[in-house]
């Protein structure tokens, strides 16, 4: 048992529900792949995972996801992953579950299991969540990533204005006759041949026609989020960024239930006494076993053209919140009038004024997310394997491959 009261095998198991087998699209816990969890008094965690098969880059992927998630718990020192193989019987049970799951969906969400989900949150309004979401979206798209932005600020939406989206969402029936909402795609010039795309869904982009209005009328907030996740045809995305409404209410609970793989960036202003609210968000994340990927301090010191530094909104808040929560301070975005000006014009500052101090920091954060903090899974060479496994399970053949 760890000296840290909250670091228990149960807590480790709960946070590991957020690690999905990238092929099967289900949690490794629900699939029965988590075999053992041990926690030492010093906070060393050992996790035993049984794999469907030993080979393929998936092993490394699952390992790094497991290690990263467990480090999201307070009091963890080292994380060790041991491997076992599933027995023949366990393997067919797992395949059975995965197959049932595949049939049962009409997916719970239409977000692909390989999509990284990042919610941008804070306890408080007006700290820059939406501006950061919009800028990270275009910065990641400019790096060639496929990006979705879900504006979960249902009634206080600002993403359409920030990204300069004017269109209206349309619904289209799919093969099974189900109405699916198509996101609006905005191209992001990358300067090279490849053109990035940001797919946007927001309450501000809904058709005002009768049917659509009816569909939404009277929906409670959490239900609206659910609808965005289940009825939007997101397609294959590398990242889904979610601009969260201020506060710690239903939406955050709904998010952790619907997308247990989601991780969170917590935005805080730099004032030392301003983190109480942000700390509440981090606390809520922990209780719902979402990992806080990092703390982003926004509106940090303004650097004037003459080089003088002005800590208009105070200093040290991000660092203090990082200490308080154990999550890393991943960015400090300076106050930058261009953020507001270019936001109003619908051209995020990373595109409109890439040399400004805020744009440089936001672009750097985007690169850090895609390279080390939350890189997309390495799936090369694995995708067809699961269909073989399922076919074998169904035909009653032995299911070991390799």
Ligand X SMILES: Nc1ncnc2c1ncn2[C@@H]1O[C@H](COP(=O)(O)OP(=O)(O)OP(=O)(O)O)[C@@H](O)[C@H]1O
Residue 70 structure tokens? 């467990």
- Please identify which residue in 61, 115, 122, 130 interacts with Mg ion, judged by CB under 5 A: 130
Instruction: Measure the CA–CA gap between 111 and 61, rounded to whole angstroms.
Output: 19
Q: Tell me which of ligand X, Mg ion, none is bound by residue 167, counting a contact when its beta carbon lies within the kind-specific cut-off of 5 to 8 angstroms.
A: none
Q: Tell me which of ligand X, Mg ion, none is bound by residue 340, counting a contact when its beta carbon lies within the kind-specific cut-off of 5 to 8 angstroms.
A: ligand X
Q: What share of the chain is helix, strand, coil (3-state, %, to 5)?
A: 40, 20, 40
Choose between 100 and 341: whose C-beta lies nearer to ligand X.
Answer: 341
Site for ligand X, residues 322 to 361, rule: CB under 6 A: 333, 335-336, 339-340, 343, 358
- Least Å from the CB of residue 88 to ligand X: 52
Q: Does residue 385 contact residue 81 with C-beta atoms inside 8 Å?
A: no
Query: Judged by CB under 6 A, does residue 126 bind ligand X?
Result: yes
Count of residues in contact with ligand X, rule CB under 6 A = 21
Instruction: Measure the CA–CA gap between 69 and 63, rounded to whole angstroms.
Output: 10
Contact partners, residue 130, CB within 8 Å, separation at least 6: 120, 151, 153, 158, 159, 162, 243
Count of residues in contact with Mg ion, rule CB under 5 A = 3
Choose between 61 and 130: whose C-beta lies nearer to ligand X.
Answer: 130
Site for ligand X, residues 292 to 311, rule: CB under 6 A: 298-299
- Please identify which residue in 69, 129, 146, 199 interacts with ligand X, judged by CB under 6 A: 129
Choose between 21 and 361: whose C-beta lies nearer to ligand X.
Answer: 361
Residue whose entry in the numeric block shows the structure tokens 């903090």 = 373
Choose between 61 and 131: whose C-beta lies nearer to Mg ion.
Answer: 131
Site string for Mg ion, 131-160 (x = CB under 5 A): ---------------------------x--
Site for ligand X, residues 133 to 172, rule: CB under 6 A: 153, 156, 158
- Please identify which residue in 18, 25, 128, 204 interacts with ligand X, judged by CB under 6 A: 128
- Least Å from the CB of residue 266 to Mg ion: 14
The DSSP code sequence of 332-367 is EEEP-HHHHHHHHTT--HHHH-TTSHHHHHHHHHHH
Q: How far is CA 146 from each of CA 80, 274, 285, rounded to the nearest angstrom? A: 32, 34, 26
- Least Å from the CB of residue 248 to ligand X: 13
Checking DSSP bridges between strand 196-201 and strand 184-188, what pairing results, if any?
antiparallel
CA-based nearest residue to 264, from 111, 339, 369:
369
Query: Judged by CB under 6 A, does residue 127 bind ligand X?
Result: yes
CA-based nearest residue to 259, from 294, 230, 221, 292:
230
Binding stretches for Mg ion (CB under 5 A) = 129-130, 158
Binding stretches for ligand X (CB under 6 A) = 122, 125-131, 153, 156, 158, 246, 298-299, 333, 335-336, 339-340, 343, 358
């Amino acid at each position: 048992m760890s000296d840290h009261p909250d670091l228990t095998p149960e807590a480790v198991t709960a946070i590991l529900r957020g690690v999905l087998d990238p092929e099967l699209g289900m949690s490794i816990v629900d699939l029965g792949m988590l075999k053992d969890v041990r926690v030492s008094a010093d906070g060393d965690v050992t996790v035993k995972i049984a794999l469907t098969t030993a080979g393929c880059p998936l092993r490394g992927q699952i390992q790094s996801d497991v290690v990263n998630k467990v480090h999201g718990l307070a009091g963890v020192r080292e994380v060790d992953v041991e491997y076992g193989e599933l027995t023949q019987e366990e393997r067919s049970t797992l395949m059975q579950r995965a197959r049932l799951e595949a049939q049962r969906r009409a997916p719970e969400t239409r977000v692909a299991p390989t999509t990284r989900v990042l919610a941008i949150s804070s306890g408080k309004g007006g700290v820059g969540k939406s501006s950061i979401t919009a800028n990270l979206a275009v910065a990641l798209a400019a790096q060639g990533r496929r990006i979705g932005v879900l504006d979960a600020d249902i009634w206080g939406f600002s993403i359409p204005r920030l990204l300069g989206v004017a269109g209206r969402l349309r619904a289209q029936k799919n093969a099974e006759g189900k109405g699916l909402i198509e996101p609006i795609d905005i191209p992001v010039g990358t300067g090279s041949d490849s053109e990035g795309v940001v797919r946007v869904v927001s309450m501000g982009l809904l058709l005002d026609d009768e049917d659509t209005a009816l569909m939404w009328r009277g929906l409670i907030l959490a239900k609206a989020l659910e609808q965005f996740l289940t009825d939007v045809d997101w397609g294959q995305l590398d990242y889904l960024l979610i601009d969260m409404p201020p506060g710690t209410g239903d939406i955050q609970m709904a998010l952790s239930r619907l997308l247990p793989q989601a991780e969170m960036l917590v935005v805080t202003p730099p004032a030392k006494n301003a983190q109480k609210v942000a700390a509440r968000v981090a606390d809520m994340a922990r209780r719902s076993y979402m990992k806080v990927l990092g703390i982003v301090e926004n509106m940090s010191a303004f650097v004037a053209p003459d080089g003088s530094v002005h800590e208009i909104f105070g200093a040290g808040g991000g660092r203090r919140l990082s200490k308080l929560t154990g999550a890393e301070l991943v960015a400090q975005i300076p106050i930058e009038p261009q953020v507001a000006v270019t936001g109003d014009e619908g051209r995020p500052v990373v595109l409109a004024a890439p040399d400004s101090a805020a744009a440089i920091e936001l672009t750097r954060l985007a690169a850090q997310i895609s390279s080390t903090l939350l890189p997309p899974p390495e799936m090369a060479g694995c995708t067809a394997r699961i269909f073989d496994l399922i076919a074998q399970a169904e035909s009653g053949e032995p299911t070991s491959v390799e």
